[in-house]
Amino acid sequence: MKILFLTFGPPVIASSRTRVYQYIPFLRDDGIIFKIIPAFTGIPYRLRGSVSSGAGTSVILQRAKRFLLELNILFWNIFNVFFSIFQIARAVFVSVVFSYDIVFVQKVFMPLPALRILKFSGVKLVFDFDDAIYTQKGIFRNQTRFDKMILLYDLVVLENEETGNYVRGKGVDNILTITGPIDVNRYRGQKRPDKNVIVAGWIGSPSSSKYLYMIKSALARLCNKYPELYFETIGAGDLELEGVRLIQKRWAMESEVRELQDFDIGIMPLADDPFSRGKGGYKLLQYMSMGIPCCSSPVGINSILVEEGMNGLLACNEDQWFEKLSNLVENASLRKMLGDNGRDLAEKVYSFEAAYPRLKQCLGALCQSERQPQSLSCESK
């Protein structure tokens, strides 16, 4: 089996790392021939991650820094458009000339003519995506393009039931649901030394840090009640949460596990909207794999990943966030129990060791089948 992967970006892009790059050791062990072509450079993400939080600097310096950052990001986004076009053309050429069995497209909106060329060449087409990208509005990524594009694929690999229901409603029959997965060998907690502070943390990107403002009043109340409590963010960028003892750190792939090991509690607030209901809950999987007890909004996949009182807690409003986080701050044994159960769930259900055999089986069956999408079903029950 020969597979050509066209990824959204390099390993610095979380979705590309988890949905493609971290399968590499398994592919090599099985002797599968593969090649990876990233459609985007990932430079805008590196730029955001390279900028410190700006804590302690003047407002003027913070504004100047943000202006220069956004100017750089604008330049690289323009460059990325042309780079993407080149990489898509390259993927089509490589696939046709070197006779790959499967072209596995990870979250890239391929032009319809390019997809039709690949189908005509006899290659099997797989599309993988995590978040509800069909809700996005733009020239290159929008619902109309998504709906037309998705019907040309022989297999769709997605994250959860919400996104599965959407593509199923568009007429897609062959679906494989893989939530995460998470590298449980990399994301592993360590025994925390006794300390006189408790850290509740959040990890993510600046684009999703807006959800923290939904619970800022609860966080401020908690800081007022518990002088030993601090809130730490990794990768959020500049936040202003009045009344919250806040530690803001940059995200880097080399340091994220070490930074996560400081967390005593992990949080994931979300708005209840179509995009959030289609999210993959990767933060929760990171917390669980690290053995960190979590508290999250019961939106989309979060309600499936978290079983209340068993491997985490769910909170719907400010008072519930205050109550649930208070319980975690005050009860070390509860934190340990939820963290241990979360780690066990991550290993058994959401690890690469659990996900890869299912993906390999579906890809193998796809290669052996005729080009009739309805003749093969990888539907995950």
The model's confidence at residue 73, banded by pLDDT at 50, 70 and 90, is low
pLDDT of residue 69: 60
The model's confidence at residue 77, banded by pLDDT at 50, 70 and 90, is low
Burial class (CB in 10 A: 0-12, 13-18, 19+), 37: middle
Percent of the chain with pLDDT over 90: 54
131's tokens: 């978040």
Greater confidence (83 vs 120) lies with 120
What value does the mean pLDDT take over residues 260-283? 91
Greater confidence (26 vs 61) lies with 26
What contacts 217, CB < 8 A, 6 or more positions away?
Answer: 318
The model's confidence at residue 97, banded by pLDDT at 50, 70 and 90, is confident
Domains 2-181+352-370 and 198-349 fall in the same CATH topology: yes
Interval 149-199: pLDDT, tens: 999 999 999 999 999 999 999 999 899 999 989 999 999 888 766 678 899
pLDDT at 372 over 70: no
Looking up tokens 């943390």, which residue turns up? 201
pTM, to two decimals: 0.84
- Which residue, among 50, 72, 71, 152, has the nearest Cα to 110 in the 3D structure? 152
CATH superfamily of 2-181+352-370: Glycogen Phosphorylase B; (3.40.50.2000)
For the chain, domain boundaries:
2-181+352-370, 198-349
CATH match for 198-349 among 3.40.50.1820, 3.40.50.2000, 3.90.1300.10, 3.30.9.100: 3.40.50.2000
